[in-house]
Structures are given as C-alpha cells and as structure tokens.
Structure 1
Amino acid sequence: MTRTKLCGITSASDRAAAVAAGADALGFVVDVPVDTPRELAPGTAADLVADVPPFVTTVLVTMPEAPGAAADLVETVGTDVVQVHGLDPAAVSDLAATTDARVVAATDLDGDHAGYAAAADAVLVDSVDDDGAGGTGETHDWTRTRDLVRTLDDEYGTPVVLAGGLTPENVAEAVETVGPFAVDVASGIEAAPGEKDAEAMAAFVRAARGDET
C-alpha cells in the first residue's frame, strides 16, 4: 500500500486533522530560504511534533546551507525523518552519518538520482522552482518517474517518494502510473496558503490507498 505524507502542517488543528485522515507521515517546514506560508519557527515545529501520536512519522523539511545545520535542526525539532532540499549527494551522505534521523533527499527528474539513492534512505522526486524548493503545485512527467522507481529499487533498493502537484483528484492516477513507495502533498490539500482542508486531506489519503469508501 502506498504511504502518504501530508506536508506543511502549521497548527495543532491541522495536525489533528491530518492524523484523523490516516496520514502515515506529517511534514513540518523549518528554515527554508524561500517565502512560504508553511514555514515554522523551530520551537513552534518542536511543539507540534511533540504531540504527534505514536506510529505516525514526523518529517522535518528544510533547505540547509550545510549538513551540520540540518543535523542540529533535527535535534531541536525532534523529528523521525529529515527531508533535505538543495544539498548535493556528498552533503546528504555527510548528514546521514551525523544524525540518527532517516534522511530523504529531494530532487527533480534531472537530479543525480544514483548519487542520492546511494546516500539517502529515500529519494523524493518533486517539481522544484528556481531555488530548488518544492511546493510548486506543479506535476512532472510521471512516466519518467515510474522508470526511476524501478531503476532505484533494482540497483539500490532505495524507495522513491512522489511529490509535485498532487491532489485528491489526481493522486490515484499518479500511484497507478508511478508505483511509488509514498506520495507527498502540501498545496493540494489546502483551503488557503498554509491552512489545510480536513476533507481534502482525508480524500487524498483514501485515494492514494485506493479506498473508495
């Protein structure tokens, strides 16, 4: 079954709604050099993470200048996983060696997939902007991503997370086409920038899992 990450959680109410929707993982955006309504101060993120129930994975989403900064931020926020944007594979490898958190390396379809697969616990394929940030709300070529899923699994055993422009309406098709380990959504489940829609979150999780009820 394809796992779901609901990203850009900014409030206790949205956290509770995401958990009630059945999300496997919740994402918290901290310390990114782009203007986004989903960014949290480290202390705010830590408070939200502290009350996530057992068996729901917490993910720090960040764009660090260096691996050490990301490792320090993981300690502050207290997440299970760190998802990094903007680091090259060598830096991702350094981060993995200095943190107990699992490391997800974010890239696009033209990134060094082999390098990231060797360095990280998972590779997230996203549609990124000029700064290398995700959350663009745009899809990419799912057929190419499908081929990448197969290649990275066969050669490295590294799971692929699909992101970029996913919504409750298209995620079932994306899962069927790509066959990813997990899907990741932020803007596609929002009532307003930075504010989640509880019904959309629940619908997204159901569609990703193929649950028509």
Structure 2
Amino acid sequence: MTRVKVCGLTTEADLETVVDAGVDAVGLICDVPVDTPREVSVDQARALVAATPPFVTTVLVTMPSDPDHARELVDAVGPDVLQIHGGLEPDALDRLRSTIDARLLYAVDADDATNAAAYDDVVDALLVDTPGEDGGGGTGETHDWGRTRQAAADLESPLILAGGLTPDNVADAVRAVEPFAVDAASGVEADDGSKDPTAVHSFVDRATTALRAVEPDSSHHP
C-alpha cells in the first residue's frame, strides 16, 4: 500500500488534521533560504515534533548550506527523518547520514531524475519533486510521471513522489509511478493555507487505494 506524507505543517491544528486523516508522515519546513508561507522556526518545529503521536514519522525539510548546518538542525529539532533539498554532493550526504540520529531523505529534481542513482547508496530514500526557480520544491506543479517511473526502475531506495499532487490526481500518479509514498503540501490546503480536513482525507483514501485490486463481484455466485 502506498504511504502518505503531508508536508508544510505550521500549527498543531494542521498536525491534528493530518493525523486524524491517517497519514504516515508529516513534514516540517525549517530554515530554508526560499520564500514560503509553510516555513516554521526551529522552536516551532521542535514543538510540532514533540506533539506528533507515536507511529507517525516526523520529517524535517530543509536546505542546509553544509552538512554541519543540517546536523545542528537535527540536534535542535529531533525529527525521525531529515529531508534535504539543495546541492549537497553524495559524499557529503554519506558523511552526514553516519553522524545524525535520523534517517536521511534526499530530494531530486524531476528534470534530473536520471541522476538519482548517484545518491542511491548514500541515503535511506529519494524524493522526486518538480523544481522551482529558487531550487526548492513545493511548486504545486506536476512533472512527467512516466519519466520518473523509468528513472526509478533500477533504484534500491524507496521513492517518494511529490510535485503538484492533489486528491484529484493522486490515484493516477500512484498507478503511473507505483511509488513507495506520495507527498502533498499545497494540494491539500484551504484558501487560508491551513490543511483542509476534507482534502487530506480524500488524498489519503485515494492514494492508499489506487493500487487495490478490483474485487470480483460475488453477488452472482451461487
């Protein structure tokens, strides 16, 4: 079954909304050099991690200037997973992975998805997202799912699919790519930027059932 992460939580109300909907992971965006309304402070991120119930994975999303910066953030926030966007090289990620008390997830631009193999052995999972001009994700734009599926075919690492996913398209995306997990942010938000309960529930339901085999109709059986 496809797992679900919802990213860009900013309040405990958001956290309650997505946990109630049954997500597997929550993403907290912290200390990024791009302009986003979903960024929270280190103190806010730490508080949201502490408020997250057991069996829900907390993911710190950041764009560190160097591995030491990333390590300091992990120590300060205490997430289960560190998700890195930006230009860290595979050898730097490999060293970072061995020195943090968290799993390591690296975001690859969909335009360069064929380069994901270079990171396959040094991270715990790979996320493919539609790139923005500022180097970050969260663009709300989809990308070529067929190309992403092809690029991921030989990867050992679990693949998380992001980029413009909504309740309306997530089932098609899951069937096209068959990822380990899907990730949404703006696609499940209300007009005020909060996570919309109806949208999150619909997203989780459609993502997790997209690959379910059609049950035979037993009504005509003797």
TM range (shorter): over 0.9
Q: Does residue 96 of structure 2 align to residue 95 of structure 1?
A: yes
TM-score by length of 1: 0.94
Return the alpha-carbon distance in structure 1 between the equivalents of residues 96 and 139 of structure 2. Answer: 25
Over 4 Å off, 4+ runs: none
Of residues 142-151 and 168-177 in structure 1, the stretch that sits farther from structure 2 once superposed is 142-151
CA deviations over 1:50-76 (Å, ceiling 9, x no partner):
010000000000000001111110111
Structure-2 residue corresponding to 1:70: 70
The unaligned stretches of length 5 or more in structure 2 are: 213-222
Which of 130, 149, 154 aligns to 1:146? It is 149
1:149 CA displacement: 2.5
TM-score by length of 2: 0.90
The unaligned stretches of length 5 or more in structure 1 are: none
CA contact 1:38–1:193 (8 Å) conserved in 2 = no
1:146 CA displacement: 1.0
Structure 2 counterparts to residues 1-213 of structure 1, below 5 A: 1-86=1-86, 87-109=88-110, 110-111=112-113, 112-152=115-155, 157-192=156-191, 194-210=193-209
1:193 CA displacement: 5.8
Return the alpha-carbon distance in structure 2 between the equivalents of residues 123 and 194 of structure 1. Answer: 26
Return the alpha-carbon distance in structure 1 between the equivalents of residues 202 and 194 of structure 2. Answer: 16
CA contact 1:126–1:134 (8 Å) conserved in 2 = yes
Question: 1:195 is paired with a residue of what secondary structure?
Answer: coil
Superposed CA RMSD = 1.3
Larger Rg: 2
Question: 1:132 is paired with a residue of what secondary structure?
Answer: coil
Matched pairs, number: 208
Q: Percent identity?
A: 55
Return the alpha-carbon distance in structure 1 between the equivalents of residues 117 and 103 of structure 2. Answer: 18
1:150 CA displacement: 1.6
CA contact 1:187–1:193 (8 Å) conserved in 2 = no
